[in-house]
């Protein structure tokens, strides 16, 4: 039940054929990411994921972390696994070598993270949060803050958290009320924060909380928010631990899923104010947030891909062994596994094709991160950053939307057994449901895509990308075979619809933004599915070339062609049909809420 086989071949295909790893490996600072090294890292990570994390995943589900006498005890085995994770150097993978990191390209680090998230979504959340905190301190901290906190957070000796949400301030971060008042060089923090992932645990000696709060006289809304470093234990100048800070774990949430990840309510300042240190400039807390945002949202999208893939593997294994019924057209009386039923194959192909399309999309975005960081040319770097910014809401929202649907399909393939908790697949259906919500709901991603990513350059970045994708048409036209011809037609239809929808929604946004916004989610889905189709087409072209040249594994490459074809035949058309929702935004926009 706990089996997980990391899809290494598919990861390599996405890295090489979509993310551009061969080019990334030539960039300054990325030289170590040669094919052999990357393969070795992925293989080692796969061992840890399958050997240590995957078996813990159902244990975390059945035995959630507990709050006992004010301290959080994590699920059985989690603490030891975390120690192994840190000892193996896995926490340091993507970070600056000057602070103890290993400086791996973002694309490769993403592939490794996919394995952590697939093997144990609950477990993987702790390093994910630490990573975000590291990024924020690295970008905005003083040198003293960096040298005090970063080495231990990068190694994993300490973990990090992000404290945004309060009961009245969820998506609307600007509504937060936690206060910070000056106290010498430091600040005193008072307030209650909720939904704090790994807000407390027994992994490490210390936890570095990043807390959003308001300073005295700060403007209302997001413009008055500052960010503070609030360690669970104060840290002396020599790095040793001092007194316990005034932060208390009030409770842990009883959640639908990700039970292995303690979600804490934290109270700051019950005894006079927790000591915090301002990170970056006053009132610029939201800028710090945005620093972490791309990484965090990319990683949440990745979680969707990871859990999708794990659910797929479980459904596939079940479909290959469960004998039930005689498939249509079969004459003999031999036992037949349900994978021989066409509709079971259809469901499996839906999970497989959407997962691979989303993987292509996410790995492509991660590759743009590397180009945006390491290209020599300023203009090219800026272009990669624009492309990345455009991709982030697509990755976050679409990968998590398909993940929910895919985990539901994986349950369906199991029939009655899927509904029995012991089977294990229901855990994925429960776990995955948080993904379209946290780190900015998918509705907010669509607003980000429309309002910020399209809005800021009036659609130029989107148009440029669409035009670039359209150039694949010539390549597809030049290659033989029915599969590529079908892919070409389907992708062409998707790109044409996307191009028209982009102009439509931009036009609406200028004239009547409420109408435009009502179509933002269907627009995001159309955009993401089309880019997904493009990444599958890119991989199908590579596969077709390998097949022609008798290189590689012909089964893998044949499957790539079929998967891409299935996607444009059965998945992309649904996204294309959303164009009607974009043009019909007025029905929603004009609706009197009292009529609901």
Instruction: Report, in Å, the least distance between residue 302 CB and its own copies.
Output: 19
Q: Does 349 bind its own copies (CB under 8 A)?
A: yes
Q: Does 581 bind its own copies (CB under 8 A)?
A: yes
Residues in 208-267 that interact with its own copies by CB under 8 A: 220, 253-257
| Beta-strand relationship, 159-163 and 263-268 | unpaired
Q: Contacting its own copies (CB under 8 A), which of 84, 88, 89, 443?
A: 443
The number of residues in the chain equals 596
The token pair at 167 is 């009961």
DSSP string, 155-194: HTSSEEEEE--BTTBSS-GGG---EEEEETTEEEEEEEEE
Residue whose CB is less far from its own copies, 275 or 533: 533
CB atoms under 10 Å from CB of 332, counted, come to 7
Instruction: Report, in Å, the least distance between residue 33 CB and its own copies.
Output: 30
Handedness of CA 72, 78, 84, 88 (dihedral sign): negative
Distance (Å, whole) CA 340 – CA 320? 8
The token pair at 476 is 């597809």
Q: Does 591 bind its own copies (CB under 8 A)?
A: yes
Q: Are 208 and 324 in contact (CB under 8 A)?
A: no
Q: Which bin fits 244, alpha (ψ -120 to 50), beta or left (φ > 0)?
A: beta
Instruction: Report, in Å, the least distance between residue 191 CB and its own copies.
Output: 17
Q: Are 348 and 320 in contact (CB under 8 A)?
A: no
Q: Are 166 and 192 in contact (CB under 8 A)?
A: yes
Q: Contacting its own copies (CB under 8 A), which of 393, 436, 492, 494?
A: 436
Q: Contacting its own copies (CB under 8 A), which of 196, 208, 447, 531?
A: 447
Q: Contacting its own copies (CB under 8 A), which of 50, 130, 159, 165?
A: 165
- At a CB cut-off of 8 Å and minimum separation 6, what does 243 contact? 233, 234
Q: Does 170 bind its own copies (CB under 8 A)?
A: yes
Q: Residue 577 is inside which H or E element, if any?
A: helix 572-577
Pick the stretch among 92-100, 390-398, 527-535, 566-574 that binds its own copies (CB under 8 A).
566-574
Residues in 270-289 that interact with its own copies by CB under 8 A: none
Residue whose CB is less far from its own copies, 27 or 175: 175
Pick the stretch among 44-52, 196-204, 365-373, 412-420 that binds its own copies (CB under 8 A).
412-420
Residue whose CB is less far from its own copies, 42 or 319: 319
Distance (Å, whole) CA 284 – CA 275? 19
Instruction: Report, in Å, the least distance between residue 236 CB and its own copies.
Output: 36
Residue whose CB is less far from its own copies, 474 or 550: 550
Instruction: Report, in Å, the least distance between residue 526 CB and its own copies.
Output: 12
Q: Does 71 bind its own copies (CB under 8 A)?
A: no
Q: Does 528 bind its own copies (CB under 8 A)?
A: no
**How far is CA 108 from each of CA 36, 62, 93, 267, 370, rounded to the nearest angstrom?**
12, 32, 9, 38, 10
Q: Are 477 and 525 in contact (CB under 8 A)?
A: no
Q: Does 144 bind its own copies (CB under 8 A)?
A: no
Instruction: Report, in Å, the least distance between residue 303 CB and its own copies.
Output: 14
Distance (Å, whole) CA 404 – CA 407? 5
Distance (Å, whole) CA 59 – CA 81? 12
Q: Contacting its own copies (CB under 8 A), which of 54, 434, 501, 526?
A: 434
Residue with tokens 């794990």, as numbered in its chain: 310
* Number of residues lying near its own copies (CB under 8 A): 93
**Closest Cα to residue 573, out of 518, 530, 541?**
530
Q: Contacting its own copies (CB under 8 A), which of 28, 184, 416, 480?
A: 416
The token pair at 188 is 């005193």
Contacts with its own copies, 294-333, as mask; x by CB under 8 A: ----------------------x---x--xxxxxxx---x
Residue whose CB is less far from its own copies, 177 or 346: 346
The catalytic position among 439, 503, 549, 551 is 439
Q: Does 462 bind its own copies (CB under 8 A)?
A: no
Instruction: Report, in Å, the least distance between residue 473 CB and its own copies.
Output: 19
Residue whose CB is less far from its own copies, 375 or 529: 529
Q: Is 443 exposed, middle or buried (0-12, 13-18, 19+ CB in 10 A)?
A: middle
- At a CB cut-off of 8 Å and minimum separation 6, what does 10 contact? 356, 359
Q: Does 100 bind its own copies (CB under 8 A)?
A: no
- What 8-state DSSP symbol labels residue 550? T
Q: Contacting its own copies (CB under 8 A), which of 348, 358, 461, 506?
A: 348
Q: Is 549 a catalytic residue?
A: no
Contacts with its own copies, 485-524, as mask; x by CB under 8 A: ----------------------------xx--xx-xxx--
Q: Contacting its own copies (CB under 8 A), which of 205, 342, 467, 468?
A: 342
Instruction: Report, in Å, the least distance between residue 288 CB and its own copies.
Output: 20
Q: Does 196 bind its own copies (CB under 8 A)?
A: no
Q: Are 161 and 196 in contact (CB under 8 A)?
A: yes
Residue whose CB is less far from its own copies, 16 or 165: 165
**Closest Cα to residue 433, out of 255, 222, 230, 244?**
255
Distance (Å, whole) CA 578 – CA 27? 40
Q: At what angle do helices 378-413 and 285-321 cross, to 10 degrees?
A: 40
Residues in 380-409 that interact with its own copies by CB under 8 A: 404, 408
Q: Does 346 bind its own copies (CB under 8 A)?
A: yes
Give me the active site residues, please.
439
């Amino acid at each position: 039940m706990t089996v997980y086989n990391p899809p290494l071949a598919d990861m390599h295909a996405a890295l090489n054929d979509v993310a551009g790893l061969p080019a990334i490996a030539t960039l300054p600072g990325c030289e170590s990411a040669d094919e052999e090294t990357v393969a070795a890292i992925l293989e080692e990570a796969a061992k840890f994921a399958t050997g240590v994390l995957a078996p813990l995943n159902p244990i975390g589900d059945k035995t959630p972390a507990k709050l006992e006498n004010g301290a959080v005890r994590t699920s059985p085995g989690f603490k030891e696994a975390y120690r192994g994770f840190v000892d193996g150097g896995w926490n340091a993978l993507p970070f600056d070598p000057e602070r103890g990191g290993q400086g791996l390209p973002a694309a490769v680090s993403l592939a490794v993270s996919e394995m952590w998230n697939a093997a144990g979504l609950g477990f993987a959340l702790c390093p994910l949060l630490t990573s975000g905190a590291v990024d924020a301190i690295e970008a905005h901290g003083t040198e003293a803050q960096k040298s005090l906190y970063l080495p231990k957070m990068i190694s994993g000796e300490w973990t990090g958290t992000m404290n945004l949400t309060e009961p009245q301030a969820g998506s609307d971060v600007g509504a937060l009320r936690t206060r910070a008042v000056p106290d010498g060089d430091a600040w005193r923090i008072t307030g209650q924060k909720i939904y704090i992932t790994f807000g407390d645990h027994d992994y490490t000696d210390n936890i570095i909380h990043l807390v959003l709060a308001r300073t005295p006289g700060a403007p209302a809304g997001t413009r008055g928010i500052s960010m503070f470093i609030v360690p669970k234990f104060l840290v002396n100048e020599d790095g040793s631990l001092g007194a316990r800070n005034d932060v208390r774990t009030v409770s842990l949430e009883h959640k639908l899923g990700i039970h292995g990840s303690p979600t804490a309510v934290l109270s700051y300042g019950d005894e006079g104010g927790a000591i915090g240190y301002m990170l970056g400039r006053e009132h610029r807390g939201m800028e710090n947030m945005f620093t972490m945002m791309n990484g965090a949202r990319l990683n949440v999208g990745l979680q969707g891909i990871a859990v999708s893939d794990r659910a797929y593997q479980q459904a596939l294994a079940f479909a290959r062994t469960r004998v039930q019924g005689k498939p249509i057209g079969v004459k003999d009386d031999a036992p037949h596994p349900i994978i021989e039923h066409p509709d079971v194959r259809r469901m499996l192909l839906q999970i497989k094709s959407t997962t691979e399309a989303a993987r292509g999309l996410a790995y492509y975005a991660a590759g743009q991160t590397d180009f945006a960081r390491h290209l020599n040319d300023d203009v090219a770097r800026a272009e990669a950053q624009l492309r990345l910014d455009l991709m982030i809401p697509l990755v976050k929202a679409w990968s998590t939307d398909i993940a929910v649907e895919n985990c539901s399909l994986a349950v369906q393939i199991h029939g009655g057994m899927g509904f029995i908790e012991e089977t294990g697949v229901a855990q994925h259906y429960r776990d995955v449901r948080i993904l379209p919500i946290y780190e900015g709901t998918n509705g907010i991603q669509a607003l980000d895509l429309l309002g910020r990513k399209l809005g800021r350059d009036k659609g130029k970045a989107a148009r440029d990308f669409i035009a670039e994708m359209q150039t694949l048409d010539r390549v597809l036209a030049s290659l033989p075979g029915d599969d590529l011809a079908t892919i070409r037609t389907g992708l062409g239809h998707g790109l044409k619809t996307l191009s028209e929808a982009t102009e439509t929604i931009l036009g609406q946004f200028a004239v009547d933004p409420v109408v435009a916004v009502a179509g933002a989610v269907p627009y995001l889905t159309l955009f993401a599915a089309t880019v997904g189709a493009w990444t599958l087409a890119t991989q199908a072209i590579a596969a077709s070339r390998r097949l022609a040249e008798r290189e590689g594994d012909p089964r893998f490459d044949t499957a790539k062609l079929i998967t891409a074809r299935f996607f444009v035949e059965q998945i992309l058309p649904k996204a294309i049909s959303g164009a009607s929702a974009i043009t019909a935004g007025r029905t929603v926009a004009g609706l009197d809420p009292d009529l609901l």
